[in-house]
Amino acid sequence: MRQIILDTETTGLNPRTGDRVIEIGCVEMLNRQLTGNNLHFYINPERDSDEGALAVHGLTTEFLSDKPKFAAIADEFRDYVRGAEIIIHNAPFDVGFLDAEFKLLGLAPFKEHVDNIVDSLQMAKEQHPGRRNSLDALCDRYGISNAHRTLHGGLLDAALLAEVYLAMTRGQNSLTMDLADGDNNEDGSPMLELAPLADVIVVAASDDELDLHETVLNTLDKEVKGTCVWRKVPEEAPPA
């Protein structure tokens, strides 16, 4: 099964009032294995971000001014997600924005290009009712480090969500019935055997990706006339 974990960043909260997508991050999994075949775009929204949204993602109008417009990346994006199961945390928000962008280009809604859309937030609410189920809260719950996440970012959040999703659904692959050896329980029922969990593949950034990352950080440093928050190491919590 091909699954794409997807996250977007936007200029604000409402596409109906003209807010636009400014970043898309996608992480690919095949049969629950991370492939490293990820997709990432910064997008020029042709408008400023709301102050509240800017505080969340830190992507300034000047930084985005030379990035491609959505129309320029739409075909590559659609080709990448076509036919896959899409996993999004709070899917109605991201899908609403993607639908608005597709509508501007005369394209069918996002769901028409993919096999299925899974809302991991809804899954988390069903598994952990009455508890906080934000991405940060789920990272804490499943022991996934997000210490490097000081601002939201499409690709970073998608990568974190991939780990969270695997942790949330690990029980689906935890048991299998192996009848090859004919082993049965004392009552004659087939014996359930634990299946090994798939190893998590860690894909290191290439030299070109590291250089591009450094270029983005240098640009943000100039924007804030100092050191951007992405370079700051979070302080360790004092011992309890």
Residues taking part in catalysis: 152
Contact 37, 16 (CB under 8 A): no
3-state helix, strand, coil in the chain (%, to 5): 40, 15, 40
Q: In this structure, which amino acid lies at residue 100?
A: A
The per-residue DSSP string of 63-76 comes to HHTTSPPHHHHHHH
For CA atoms 42, 29, 82, 118, the dihedral sign is: negative
9's enclosing H/E stretch is: strand 2-10
Alpha-carbon span 56 to 46, nearest angstrom: 19
Contact 161, 89 (CB under 8 A): yes
Contact 200, 120 (CB under 8 A): no
Q: Which residues contact 173 (CB under 8 A, 6 or more apart)?
A: 32, 195, 197, 198
